[in-house]
């Protein structure tokens, strides 16, 4: 492998400049996952997309990122991580310009699809490159904390930046802002980023690539469709098909000398705990973020920008704790840090049960902020363990697995927790499908509006409570996994190694 120094040395100035360049695409990819929600009303008025086209405008980006992360991580390991990072940045930039000036909904959907393809190369390659820039575990943990902080921060500030841009410019500005940032990456990247690729690895198994994409995409589609429309044949058929294809995919990986998905990684205790924590963490965060966003606008009466501003304290805490996660793990060990973080996230979610129809903004700010402490630590540890658990030549594929778990958790949170909240809401009275539609149809009937808001809050409480329980269950799993590991022959090695670095698994 080229560009990797295994000596324990202080990071050079070039390494920190490289990190500064690497966080640029990460910030953009995470922002583009959230910024479009604010632009949809204006965009819909200009392009007049059908209901189906509106869903594809929102979803195609995330679908392709989720479906291609594992493949692009492996591809970067083989052809060069810097090379695929810069190629992906070019695709992302061109697609952003195309989206900004899209004359029709169809063109915008195609542009968003290209952005998803480019985005899928940026995440695993940028994080895997950090392992070469920062071979020392302590410095690497700090660098990954910064990377994670900007990834999480992008999702949080996306709506705020989007609101400012939409207030000043036309809807295409939310895409066009990507281009100057990507130009910096494309110009500076070749000078400050080392090329990393693995010599001697065979070509990608194209059947595995097809099975991976053909399994992940239908599952993610089914989960998102279930959240939007409920469970029916249109949801079950692709969902079952995707699961079957994934089973075939896993069986094939067991037979290959050069698998696309190295299943041996899951035999490492910390890696399995990390993937489970990222899935459950994103599931609860997505459910909480979606439900509280509706609450702030349709119950508390804030506009989109006002709702986004109330999320700034939580975003700031996630940012700070993401950069502190490696230090927490060095103090406590990796698994105790996971347990502490998952418990903090659960506690913050449970505080949101104090939110009511006629008040509770303080509970929202306090609860989301405390939950942010846990999420910030968890997401940093997941990224660090993903890099450290795999041998250097497979860092990109390991990161692809962890990032896919984030995407899957996000889809599951919106579907399962969102569907639970919707079920409780609709059971509370003769309401329309959503709170917004009910309020619009109620007109001057304040009694119906108040009843609908009370029912929504009950549903929100149910969804958030289930998310908190799942976080606590995952914390228990982390504890039990550690005890099982220590009871096994040689099991203490992982715990002692964790004291030396976050990724000591």
**230 and 153 belong to one structural domain:** no
Mark whether 214 and 192 lie in a shared domain: no
Assess if residue 3 is contained within a domain: no
Verify that 128 and 166 share a domain, yes or no. Answer: yes
Are 13 and 139 within 8 A, CB to CB?
no
| Low-confidence spans in the chain with pLDDT less than 50 | 1-7, 486-505
DSSP, res 358: T
Instruction: Report the pLDDT value the prediction gives residue 472, as an integer from 0 to 100.
Output: 95
The answer to whether 273 and 477 are in contact (CB under 8 A) is yes
**Count of domains for the chain:** 3
pLDDT digits (tens, 9 = 90+) for 317-374: 888 888 777 788 888 887 888 899 999 999 999 999 999 988 889 999 999 999 999 9
Q: H-type helices in 134-261, by residue range?
A: 137-168, 173-176, 178-192, 206-229, 233-255
The verdict on 144 and 209 lying in the same domain is no
Q: Of 202, 230, 245, which residue constitutes the final position of a domain?
A: 202
pLDDT at 227: 59
224 and 127 belong to one structural domain: no
Q: Is position 221 within any domain?
A: yes
* Residue 114: alpha-carbon gap to chain centroid: 19
Domain extent at residue 479: 262-488
pLDDT at res. 350: 96
**Are 154 and 216 found together in one domain?**
no
In a domain, 494, yes or no: no
Residue 61 neighbours by CB under 8 Å, 6+ apart? 32, 33, 36, 112, 113, 115, 116, 119
Q: What is the pLDDT of residue 247?
A: 92
Q: Is 233 inside any structural domain?
A: yes
Distance of CA 275 to the CA centre of its chain: 12
- We report the CATH number of the domain holding residue 423 as 1.20.1250.20
Residue 203, SS3? Answer: coil
Q: What is the pLDDT of residue 503?
A: 42
Which segments within 286-384 are labelled E, that is strand?
none
């Amino acid at each position: 492998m080229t560009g990797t120094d295994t000596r324990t040395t202080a990071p050079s100035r070039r390494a920190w400049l490289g990190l500064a360049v690497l966080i640029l695409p990460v910030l953009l990819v995470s922002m583009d996952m959230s910024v479009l929600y604010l632009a949809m009303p204006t965009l819909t008025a200009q392009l007049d997309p059908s209901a189906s086209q509106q869903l594809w405008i929102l979803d195609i980006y995330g679908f392709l990122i989720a479906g291609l992360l594992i493949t692009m991580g492996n591809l970067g390991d083989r052809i060069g991580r810097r090379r695929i990072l810069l190629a992906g940045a070019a695709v992302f930039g061109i697609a952003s310009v195309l989206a900004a000036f899209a004359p029709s909904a169809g063109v915008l959907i195609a542009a968003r699809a290209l952005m998803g393809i480019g985005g899928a190369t940026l995440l695993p390659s940028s994080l895997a490159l950090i392992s070469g820039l920062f071979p020392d575990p302590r410095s690497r943990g700090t660098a990954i904390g910064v990377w994670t902080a900007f990834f999480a921060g992008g999702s949080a500030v996306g709506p705020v930046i989007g609101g400012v841009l939409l207030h000043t410019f036309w809807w295409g500005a939310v895409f066009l802002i990507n281009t100057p940032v990507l130009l910096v990456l494309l110009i500076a990247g070749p000078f400050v980023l080392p090329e990393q690729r693995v010599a001697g690895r065979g070509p990608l198994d194209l059947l595995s690539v097809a099975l991976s994409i053909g399994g992940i995409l239908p599952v993610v589609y089914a989960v998102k469709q279930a959240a939007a429309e409920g469970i029916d044949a249109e949801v079950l058929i692709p969902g079952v098909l995707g699961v079957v294809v994934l089973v075939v995919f896993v069986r094939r990986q067991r037979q290959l000398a050069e698998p696309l998905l190295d299943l041996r990684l899951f035999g490492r205790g910390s890696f399995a705990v990390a993937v489970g924590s990222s899935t459950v963490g994103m599931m609860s965060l997505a459910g909480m973020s979606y439900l509280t966003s509706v609450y702030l606008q349709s119950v508390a009466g804030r506009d989109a920008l006002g709702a986004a501003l109330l999320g700034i304290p939580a975003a700031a805490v996630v940012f700070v704790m993401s950069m502190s996660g490696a230090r927490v793990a060095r103090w406590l060990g990796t698994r105790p840090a996971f347990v502490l973080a998952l418990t903090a996230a659960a506690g913050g979610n449970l505080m949101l049960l104090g939110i009511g129809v006629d008040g509770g903004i303080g509970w929202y700010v306090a609860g989301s902020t405390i939950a942010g402490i846990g999420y910030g630590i968890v997401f940093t540890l997941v990224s660090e363990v993903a890099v450290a658990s795999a041998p250097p030549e497979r860092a990109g594929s390991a990161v692809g697995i962890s990032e896919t778990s984030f995407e899957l958790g996000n889809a599951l949170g919106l579907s399962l927790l969102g569907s639970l909240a919707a079920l409780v809401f609709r059971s509370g009275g003769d309401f329309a499908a959503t709170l917004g539609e009910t309020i619009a149809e109620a007109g001057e009937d304040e009694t119906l509006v108040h009843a609908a808001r009370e029912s929504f809050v009950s549903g929100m409480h149910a969804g958030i409570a289930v998310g908190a329980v799942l976080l606590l269950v995952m914390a228990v799993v982390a504890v039990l996994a550690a005890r099982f590991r220590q009871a096994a022959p040689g099991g203490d090695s992982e715990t002692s190694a964790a004291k030396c670095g976050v990724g000591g698994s």
